[in-house]
Structure 1
């Protein structure tokens, strides 16, 4: 018996970052939108915990117990007094180290899959608590849709969205480390006051109205200067997308994936085509959002 869970990528339509806290984290106002690029995580009973991965950039995914999917299985098993003896297989389609929460998605997917496989009956609140222990973006990967993340991003408030938004994502030639981007943010912020992060009211109103033009005017990412400092070539990718007609161009999260908001599917395809021939990125994907969070595709009986 096995269980497969499909889990989406995310784009940050706003990422407001506060000053570094004493624990090293930063307070955030993080407006997440789940988008239709997916990993699929399958768990199967096994003699011991092991992780395998296939798909684009699978060779960059750790297959030991540092993998968030493995950590999710261990965390859930520990709570219910059992061994995490499963084979976790990740079918990868979300960019690795791309700022789209691919690792977090795998953690949420494995958690939900193990819950279904083992029949633990964990409540939604308990699953979200485990997600928050695993990482700041993991709770949203479980929930999906649209949400405001506060604290370090793990405290979620669902948001109303009045329509579908069309996105183009350009994958960079190499990854960026999220901790490195935050360190660069801190370096660039030295000597100046960093305001408290607050969700943008015009942005929330644009989401609720389903207004792509208004959302484009409000999209922002406080980590973008740090990502561009570490990866200056992304400036060319952003410029290419804007020149092709994107309503907004922004680094996704900590990067280096760049995200382009467009008015409709035809515009998205045109921007994607221009980016593919621009020589500024290695791959391009079109997706819509919001979409559902982690979803069981193949439920299993408890065992």
Structure 2
């Protein structure tokens, strides 16, 4: 007797990278509540994977998550991936009917834009699943409506971000850079860090200027990790340390371990250390673990490519 089984529902799987801000320069808050930024993004080979699966019309959006700290990820419309599916559906005039599964590979709430990578991957996955045929520029435009880091997760590699960080210009780089990351189980609120930055500057931070990162851009073009380490910069670092003083020790341990450069990643609380090699990155990570200076450690390389269908 032949047994008939239902064909699996069509699905699309996309991965998108986390990021590091090699430089983050923050101007004074403007009337719209945002700070003008000049930032140099580098995508790193830690990835979010989103699988979008077809569901019957009228079903709506369903969201599931697995991976490290998945219990901290919301499963409702506050999730950026959910919002990305809704935005794309509204933009192209189709029903927002899809099952999304997020496999976390970027530290949660660590200043490395894992949620933004989820949103970017969801845009690309739903575009393919629904055959909407949008161009990459169209998707980048939608991404900018979701958050300032989402466009970069689509394009990846290394880029200069201006405006709120969403206006991207590709940056020339040579070679591969080795990174170690120390992450904390408890996240750090981005609005709180910006609020502390405003308190430190009295709302009178200097205007941002891309020319301030000239040395960093030269280091990237030369593929020179020593020069890059010296040029790393984050205007939010002191504000993040004010809120989480233990980050200073995490930075010092990496510096004492010979890191070429260290900084808080974005608004924190992850700490990044630039290493000479993969083995050196592993050694820095091991020291963080031995000293109890991180809840988890990650070693990877950059730059990495942007969102792509697997």
Q: TM-score range by the shorter chain?
A: over 0.9
Q: Distance in 2 between matches of 1:191 and 1:152?
A: 17
Q: Distance in 2 between matches of 1:95 and 1:81?
A: 34
- Decide which of 143, 152, 158 is 1:146's aligned counterpart: 158
Alignment-derived partner of residue 226 in structure 1: 239
Alignment-derived partner of residue 148 in structure 2: 136
Report whether the alignment pairs 1:202 with 2:215: yes
Alignment-derived partner of residue 37 in structure 2: 28
**C-alpha deviation, 1:192, in angstroms:** 4.2
Note the alpha carbon deviations across 1:167-196, whole angstroms, 9 max, x for none. 000011310011111111111110644232
**C-alpha deviation, 1:258, in angstroms:** 0.3
Q: Distance in 1 between matches of 2:233 and 2:246?
A: 19
Matches within 5 A, 1:4-83: 4-46=13-55, 47-83=59-95
Alignment-derived partner of residue 158 in structure 1: 170
Q: Secondary structure at the match of 1:157?
A: strand
Q: Secondary structure at the match of 1:21?
A: coil
8 Å CA contact 1:27–1:197 kept in 2: the answer is: no
8 Å CA contact 2:28–2:203 kept in 1: the answer is: no
Provide structure 2 residue ranges, at least 5 long, that are not aligned to the other structure.
Answer: 1-9
8 Å CA contact 1:17–1:197 kept in 2: the answer is: no
**C-alpha deviation, 1:80, in angstroms:** 1.2
Q: Distance in 2 between matches of 1:75 and 1:214?
A: 41
Alignment-derived partner of residue 248 in structure 1: 261
Q: Provide runs of 4+ in structure 1 moved above 3 Å.
A: none
Q: Secondary structure at the match of 1:53?
A: strand
Note the alpha carbon deviations across 1:128-161, whole angstroms, 9 max, x for none. 0000000000000000000000000000000011
Question: Over aligned residues, Cα RMSD in angstroms?
Answer: 1.0
Alignment-derived partner of residue 300 in structure 1: none
Q: Distance in 2 between matches of 1:135 and 1:291?
A: 20
Which range moved further: 80-89 or 194-203? Answer: 194-203
1:193/1:180 CA distance change after superposition, 3 Å: closer
Provide structure 1 residue ranges, at least 5 long, that are not aligned to the other structure.
Answer: 298-303
Alignment-derived partner of residue 182 in structure 2: 170
Q: Distance in 1 between matches of 2:194 and 2:308?
A: 31
Bigger Rg, structure 1 or 2: 2
Alignment-derived partner of residue 191 in structure 2: 179
1:228/1:118 CA distance change after superposition, 3 Å: same
TM-score by length of 1: 0.96
Alignment-derived partner of residue 252 in structure 2: 239
Q: Secondary structure at the match of 1:72?
A: helix
